[in-house]
Structure 1
Amino acid sequence: MTHAGVVPACEANRLNGIISPNTSRLRENHRRIGREQEVPRLKKDYVHSLKKQNSPRLRKDRGRVALFVDEGNLFHAALSLGVQVNYARFLNYIMEGSQFSGAFLYTAVKSDEHRQQLQSRVDLEGYQIVGRKIIRYQDGSVKANLDVEIASDLIIKAFENSYDTAVLVSGDGDFTYAVKLVKQRGRKVEVISLSSMTSRRLIAMSDHYTDLSKIKHWICN
């Protein structure tokens, strides 16, 4: 052993009170994914035929592996599947048979104390918590955006030669360009996310794609 947006306050129920990501943004992502699926050259069946969904543990050419978890995206994907991710099992699953180069969990935090609580959690051992404090508005909604941090770390660590393979846990199509730049540096990028919540362009740009629903039994409680 990596979203701007507004969320209803009633959705504050993950990772010991971390606020869930922007609901309106997720709806827009779904609309964008729908539009992408209309593009003939990126039809779902075609893209999936390019990306064999083998378990990462079956491949041995990954070199140094770094894990980047978009916690908000993963939370909603797990919610859709009706499961709860066990982060320790997830990390072990991803890194099995590979050289560990880092694991980064990008999430909203309520306070410095909350960040320390996350860092002390046994199931998050091995992860570096990358958080941004949430902004609360008078209408009860909150805002937290970590896309910039995720994309920046993917690119910077590739240029620093910190990893050979990046595992990006997110379906957000906004990361497509960052993945393209990382691959231009000779790095491989694997994407893990729920198919129905994943940009087809992101899948096409990746070297390997895994539908979260296919591995839920190995990474969930």
Structure 2
Amino acid sequence: MSNVHPAQRVAVLVDAQNFYHTTQSVYSRNIDYRELLEEAVDGRQLTRAIAYVIRADSPKEESFFEALAEIGFETKIKDLKTHADGSKTADWDVGMILDAVTLAPHIDTAVICTGDGDFSRLCSHLRHEGVRVEGMAFGESTSEDMVDAVDSFTDLSERVDRFLL
């Protein structure tokens, strides 16, 4: 990546649900969060690494949350909600956006790990505030709006052997 230097303070924000659905539907594999974090930090000073996850009461999720913590991620957990009509929702968009805006004065670079185009406006705002914004996601499930809104984009699909387990 260009414009990278060791003194940069970096925050890494990962939309784990977005990555889970992409890696399962496209590759039937799981993401290697250790490799993802290493690539995102890229030798710089890690300020915060946050993985936004959903608790859906599935068998291995607690061990997954623990593994994220061991790697160095702070996990923010939201319970899956079931509505009266039977539909289920769980969304971290607002939480990620608030965290990114709150962190902006304390970082030089935000690495936003999602393909969700809803975050393109956040990226534009952070750049306006003087924060370098890097995006990391799988190209086949990434909105063009997201790619266009960041300073640099890493397509994880180009190196699946590194980023998938």
TM-score by length of 1: 0.64
- Which aligned pairs between 1:199-210 and structure 2 lie closer than 5 A? 199-210=143-154
Between the aligned partners of 2:135 and 2:68, the Cα distance in structure 1 is: 25
Could you say what secondary structure the match of 1:83 adopts? coil
Between the aligned partners of 1:117 and 1:194, the Cα distance in structure 2 is: 24
Which of 154, 174, 179 is matched with 2:100 structurally?
A: 154
Unaligned runs of 5+ in 2: none
1:92 counterpart letter in structure 2: E
Which of 27, 36, 40 is matched with 1:94 structurally?
A: 40
2:78 counterpart letter in structure 1: R
Residue 166 of structure 1: aligned partner:
110
Which of 129, 132, 135 is matched with 1:191 structurally?
A: 135
Q: Percent identity?
A: 25
Between the aligned partners of 2:12 and 2:31, the Cα distance in structure 1 is: 15
The number of residues matched between the two structures is: 161
Unaligned runs of 5+ in 1: 1-55
Task: Confirm whether residue 71 of structure 1 aligns to residue 3 of structure 2.
Answer: no
Residue 30 of structure 1: aligned partner:
none
Residue 125 of structure 2: aligned partner:
181
Between the aligned partners of 2:66 and 2:29, the Cα distance in structure 1 is: 23
1:61 positional shift: 3.1
1:215 counterpart letter in structure 2: R
Structure number having the greater strand percentage: 2
1:101 positional shift: 1.1
Residue 50 of structure 1: aligned partner:
none
Residue 35 of structure 1: aligned partner:
none
Q: Which shows bigger deviation, 78-87 or 179-188? A: 78-87
- Which aligned pairs between 1:106-117 and structure 2 lie closer than 5 A? 106-110=52-56
Could you say what secondary structure the match of 2:112 adopts? strand
Residue 120 of structure 1: aligned partner:
66
Residue 157 of structure 2: aligned partner:
213
Between the aligned partners of 2:5 and 2:50, the Cα distance in structure 1 is: 22
TM-score by length of 2: 0.84
1:137 positional shift: 3.9
Q: Which shows bigger deviation, 101-110 or 91-100? A: 91-100
1:92 positional shift: 2.1
Between the aligned partners of 1:156 and 1:119, the Cα distance in structure 2 is: 24
**Residues 143-187 of structure 1 deviation map (CA, whole Å, 9 limit, x = unaligned):** 1111100111111110xx221111111111111111111111101
Larger Rg: 1
CA contact (8 A) 2:137 2:156 kept: yes
